[in-house]
A and B are shown apart, each in its own frame.
Chain A
Amino acid sequence: MDFDLNEDQRLLKDTLVRFFKDHYSFEQRKQAMAMSGGWSADIWRQLAELGFTGLLAPEAAGGFNGGHVEAMVAMEAVGEALLVEPLFASALMCGFLLRQCPASAKISDLESAMVSGTARLALAHMEGEAPLNGAHVTTSARHEGGRVLLNGDKTLVLHGDSATHIIVSARHAGTPGAHHGIGLYLVEGDAAGLRRRGFATQDGQRAAELNFNQTPAHVLDAEGYATLAKTIDFGIACICVEAVGAMSALHAMTVDYLKIRKQFGLPIGAFQVLQHRAVDMLVALEQARSLALVAMFAMDDKDAARRHRTVAAAKVQIARSGKFVGEEAIQLHGGIGMTMEYAAGHYFKRLKMIDVQWGDGDHHLVALAEGPSLLEDEAMG
């Protein structure tokens, strides 16, 4: 048992944290969000130069060949920095997915382009009728004249507005809800019959509604449900870690604020009632950190059902802790916590949106309550 990063991982962490410190202040982030498309191409280019766009990509593609510890290190820093550039959507989510797909020349090319930063990928999976049901895929994939054509709609596609390539889940067999018959397809950003409606999310990220109308696509994996399920579990684990990074930064700035803000002639942190609330925030944060860690390591678990339970448990904990830390931070800051000009509110917004992404705490709790005990899954076996 060992909770320490190795030397390479520490270096990775230091590099990213220092980059954000030097180039991604709250003001710089605000400027990035004001740019057309909602994020900074310059920041993206620098992230690519540092190698983070290839964090999970294989060495053959020029990537870092990272695993879940590297993903964890990156996502915690992303959470602290409130990054709006598509690192998670492209390098982590799609990078992870591509590594689960059967090897092909197409995938190798795509990975190389992703590593260099020229390709930005987005995963289009959720559909409007049942966004949280991973098997509810009605978008169709049909072979016509030697081509594969997609028809249908995808919703809430993270960074789907600006992605150069879109990985789409589509059904070539079976009925909505069935696990079999769901394939994974690659669509070029400028493909015929692809329409996108981009929008900003509540927390300053970007997403898009996509419509495919006889859109040509390339098959990545004909039976992709298991890969999709694992990728979504990975995505949940990632945003749990991101939430821990955000909570950690938000807690630290709240404690600092309590020490400098004076009322009644005293720093308000001199009042025990506020100290104890800051302590309870720390307890909630540390509990969240523990399960986010376990969720990331669950990616090693060969038992898919158990892996999902572990990830779901972390999502419940993140929901509880994130709500508590976020709401308390705003309250302890008072009025300043309510303004767009101050970072606390932005952390709070991100935490709330992480809660609703891929199922909120109650969604996962209800499912877990119907399954076997989590305590039978040895946490540290």
Chain B
Amino acid sequence: MDLHLDPQQRAFRAEVRQFFKDNLPDRVRQKVIKGGYPEYQDMVDWTRVMHAKGWATPQWPKAHGGTGWSPVELAIFDDESQAAGAPQMLPFGVNMLGPVLYTFGSPEQQQKFLPRIARLDDWWCQGFSEPGAGSDLASLKTTARREGDEFIVNGQKTWTTMAQYANWIFCLVRTDPDSLKPGGKRQEGISFILIDMKTKGITVRPIQTIDGGVEVNEVFFDDVHVPAENLVGQLNKGWDYAKFLLGNERNGIARVGATKEKLRRIRALAQTSQIGAAPMSENHRFMERLTEAEIDLKALEITQWRVLARSAARHGKPDPASSILKIKGSQLQQTATDLAVALAGPYAAVGKSDQSGDNLGPIGPEWAATSAPVYFNYRKVSIYGGSNEIQRNIIAKAILGF
């Protein structure tokens, strides 16, 4: 038993850390650390930098442009990337669709799409959730009807993150309408299909979330013609591919590095930030809450390593213990954003100025203005990626045997 990284892993961590230090533009770093989404062009530029280094799709197999890193190295890379404030590679292409394509896609699909995912030539979004199909995803109703060498798609997807930038969407669609009838097997009538967002009949409507931002959308499909060759794998097997995809989605789900950076920043700001008679670092209640979060995060970091250490023995099969990481990791991300609001105090209230030509500078500390929006925004993390209640169902069934 040994809790230390070996010299090779330490050298790897140092190399990764140095690379981010040397190559990540400070402007982008600041934006990510404050909890904002990087702009479209920032994402493309950063992906190209990572791609040139060979790190844009680290978890893919070497044959498809991956790095061949071990699970431990991948986790070190994720943590360092998050702690550095680097934008995450767009997960919809890199983490979700990529593995589905190199595992189940045709050689043509692999050649056509994988290199473009790695360079962010294509911006993919995910068409899974529907207004009536959230946690109960298998009840989805968007249909794809085969006509000649095309599918005709009708229906609606929702919570489609960054669809406003996307030129492609991968969707779960119902290809066997009988599967929804009483007695039918809902999971067995679903297919996985790739759709060009420029196709006629697609409408994207933005959804403003409670933080005031727009990162999710509704996507409507009205008689959209999709070439049959865009079907991934076999007809009506899409549910299997979706389960595979959601298993992969749990990579890096604990977000230890990102939360660590948030807490570090809060601790540093607490030394100087004063909303009462003394700096917040002298507010015992606040410092105790911060310390409790740090303790929990330290524990989560080890829990993450313990789960990872088992993963080699599982040969890449999703580990239900990663649901523990999702639950605790999301709670801690939310705690960190709440502490930032407490730190900002009354200045958390400041919204966007609506006076045109107002260039008098920020109201209150500059960092305070994003604290409330990020807090509001981060309520999402215990809802997306399989809500924490779904994660509890997974643990109850797969670990506790209920």
Contacts and interface: CB of A to CB of B under 8 A. Distances in A.
B255 interface: no
Given A317-B295, A317-B296, A374-B294, A4 B1 contact: yes
Contacts of B291: 365, 368-369, 374
Contact of B5 (A276, A317, A365, A381): A381
A270 B401 CA distance: 11
Interface stretch (A94-102, A156-164, A224-232, A290-298): A290-298
A293 B3 contact: yes
Contacts of A93: none
Nearest to A274: B402
Interface residues of B, number: 45
B178 interface: no
Contacts of B306: 3, 286, 289-290
Given A1-B4, A282-B399, A294-B3, A287 B300 contact: yes
B290 A369 contact: yes
Interface in A338-381: 365-366, 368-370, 373-375, 379-381
A3 B72 CA distance: 13
B72 to A, nearest CB: 7
Interface in B234-267: 260, 263-264, 267
Interface in B281-299: 284, 287-288, 290-292, 294-299
A293 B2 CA distance: 10
B272 interface: no
A365 B395 CA distance: 30
Interface residues of A, number: 45
A293 to B, nearest CB: 6
Contact of B298 (A1, A9, A374): A374
A279 interface: yes
B298 A294 contact: yes
A283 interface: yes
A2 B400 contact: no
A93 B343 CA distance: 43
Interface string B292-315: 101111111111011001000000
Contact of B1 (A9, A288, A379): A9
A1 B389 CA distance: 32
A366 B324 contact: no
Given A2-B309, A282-B324, A282-B395, 14 more contacts: A1-B5, A259-B401, A269-B402, A279-B395, A287-B328, A288-B299, A289-B303, A290-B299, A290-B303, A294-B3, A317-B295, A374-B298, A380-B301, A380-B305
5 contacts: A3-B1, A275-B396, A283-B328, A313-B295, A373-B267
